[in-house]
């Protein structure tokens, strides 16, 4: 007996059968997957009631899928999503809303609010007639789609160094192509090292964070750490002292000079006044040490800064040391652990926009 053409798919070629099978295995859209399974089962000779029972769908749905496939072929498997009702707020108004959100209330003569909340922004939009009606959730979705998000205000200290680019290029040149006749060293101070509870993170039972005391006294003063990063090996060298004058700095330079005799040292550092002391400069000139100063307010160019961030995170955060000996031992333990895993430093900010700067941007942030 011939099959009723209205309840079974048309005969499928071998290639069409393989394509249907492939779709049932790889389709990620659930609608397309379900339709492909219906067509495949119908092509295998299963009746509409059988497919309905196995797929847990209605008879009308199965018949509609079969008829659509017989008429349009594989195009019928793709869902045709309807657009829904037209948006109540036009695209132009949405852009205007995002523009207003990026301003501050004071620019509109609103006193007493330094920033918009969803509530105050909604009231402002309604009062100015930008929209006739809008909910806070709708406003939130418009801002999110427009790329406007709630962010913390940050600060930026612009450099007033007229030779910023020249100094930056000198530092980058030393990073990218270390001189064959010497060694590049990054130096900076870290601290002050207080004895205080420091917030941090650790693994704990859910809902039971570790707690540290909230109050403390500075009975034992502070200490200061000066450190050097050797780019050739990636190792850190440091000293912890009670003060950080030019005398302590010069003493540290001398230890570095003794560590690498016969090599010229290129020492990259910021413009802290002890670094520029006359006796420091004179000793450096007499001992084959070139002092390479970073641009003013350009400490972020010092490669050692990232090492300090890691030291603070791993060795100090989450601690509450009661003596400097205890805290210094923790720092020493971290540095030794880190140095056993050190690798030569290469590729400083390789894809950063600073590589293309020809002048200092007026607004870097």
What one-character-per-residue DSSP string does 286-304 give? HTTEEEEEPPTT-GGG-TH
Give the pLDDT of residue 365: 43
Residue at which a domain ends, from 48, 77, 106: 77
Give the pLDDT of residue 344: 94
Give the pLDDT of residue 92: 94
Q: What is each CA distance from 316 to 213, 269, 279, 286, in whole angstroms?
A: 15, 24, 34, 38
CB atoms within 10 A of CB 252: 20
Give the pLDDT of residue 9: 86
337 and 199 in a common domain: yes
Domain harbouring 316, CATH code = 3.30.420.10
Distance CA 95, CA 90 (A): 9
53 and 173 in a common domain: no
| C-alpha closest to that of 263 among 186, 331, 180 | 180
116 and 47 in a common domain: no
281 and 184 in a common domain: yes
279 and 175 in a common domain: yes
Give the pLDDT of residue 16: 87
In the chain, which residue ranges form alpha helices assigned H by DSSP?
14-26, 30-43, 48-55, 59-72, 91-101, 118-127, 136-145, 164-176, 246-259, 278-286, 304-311, 324-339
Q: Say what the alpha-carbon torsion angle 125, 131, 137, 139 is, to the nearest 10 degrees.
A: -60
Query: Which range of residues forms the domain containing residue 53?
Result: 14-77
248 and 180 in a common domain: yes
176 and 134 in a common domain: no
Distance CA 10, CA 272 (A): 84
124 and 42 in a common domain: no
Residue 118 lies in a domain: yes
Bridge partners of 235, per DSSP, are 230
Distance CA 292, CA 275 (A): 10
CB atoms within 10 A of CB 192: 11
123 and 205 in a common domain: no
Give the pLDDT of residue 49: 87
Distance CA 306, CA 227 (A): 12
Residue 3 lies in a domain: no
Averaged pLDDT, groups of 10, the chain, 365 residues long = 63 86 87 90 86 85 89 87 79 95 93 92 94 93 94 85 94 95 95 92 90 88 96 96 95 96 95 96 96 93 94 93 94 96 92 87 59
Q: Radius of gyration of the chain from Cα atoms?
A: 34
Give the pLDDT of residue 363: 58
Residue 214 lies in a domain: yes
Give the pLDDT of residue 87: 82
Give the pLDDT of residue 362: 63
Give the pLDDT of residue 1: 45
Residue 113 lies in a domain: yes
207 and 276 in a common domain: yes
Quick check: pTM over 0.75?
A: no
Distance CA 220, CA 327 (A): 12
55 and 107 in a common domain: no
300 and 245 in a common domain: yes
Q: Which two tokens stand for residue 8?
A: 């079974």
The domain total for the chain is: 3
Residue 1 lies in a domain: no
Residue 31 lies in a domain: yes
DSSP line for 69-91: HHHHGGGGGS------SPPSS-H
Distance CA 178, CA 356 (A): 20
């Amino acid at each position: 007996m011939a099959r009723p053409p209205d309840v079974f798919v048309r005969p499928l070629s071998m290639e069409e059968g393989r394509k249907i099978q492939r779709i049932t295995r790889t389709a990620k859209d659930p609608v397309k997957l379900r339709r492909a399974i219906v067509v495949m089962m119908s092509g295998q000779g299963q009746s509409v009631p059988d497919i309905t029972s196995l797929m847990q769908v209605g008879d009308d749905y199965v018949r509609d899928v079969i008829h659509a496939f017989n008429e349009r072929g594989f195009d019928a498997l793709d869902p045709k999503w309807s657009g829904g009702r037209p948006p109540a707020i036009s695209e132009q108004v949405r852009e205007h809303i995002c523009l207003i959100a990026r301003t501050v209330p004071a620019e509109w003569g609103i006193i007493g609010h330094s920033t918009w909340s969803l509530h105050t922004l909604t009231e402002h939009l309604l009062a100015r007639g930008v929209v006739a009606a809008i909910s806070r959730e709708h406003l939130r979705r418009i801002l999110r789609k427009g790329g406007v998000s709630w962010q913390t205000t940050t600060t930026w200290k612009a450099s007033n160094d007229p030779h910023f680019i020249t100094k930056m290029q000198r530092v980058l040149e030393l990073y990218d192509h270390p001189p064959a006749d010497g060694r590049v060293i990054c130096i900076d101070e870290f601290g002050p090292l207080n004895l205080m509870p420091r917030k941090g993170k650790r693994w704990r039972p859910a809902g039971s964070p570790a707690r540290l005391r909230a109050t403390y006294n500075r009975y034992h003063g502070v200490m200061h750490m000066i450190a050097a990063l050797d780019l050739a090996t990636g190792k850190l060298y440091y000293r912890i002292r009670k003060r950080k004058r030019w005398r302590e700095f010069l003493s540290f330079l001398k230890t570095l000079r003794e560590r690498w005799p016969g090599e010229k040292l290129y020492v990259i550092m910021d413009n802290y006044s002890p670094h520029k002391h006359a006796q420091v400069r004179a000793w450096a000139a007499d001992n084959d040490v070139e002092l390479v100063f970073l641009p003013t307010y350009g400490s972020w160019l010092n490669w050692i800064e990232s090492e300090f961030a890691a030291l603070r995170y791993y060795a100090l955060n989450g601690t509450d040391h009661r003596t400097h000996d205890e805290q210094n031992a923790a720092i020493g333990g971290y540095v030794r652990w880190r140095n056993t895993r050190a690798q030569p430093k290469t590729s400083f900010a390789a894809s950063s926009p600073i590589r293309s700067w020809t002048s200092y941007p007026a607004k870097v942030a």
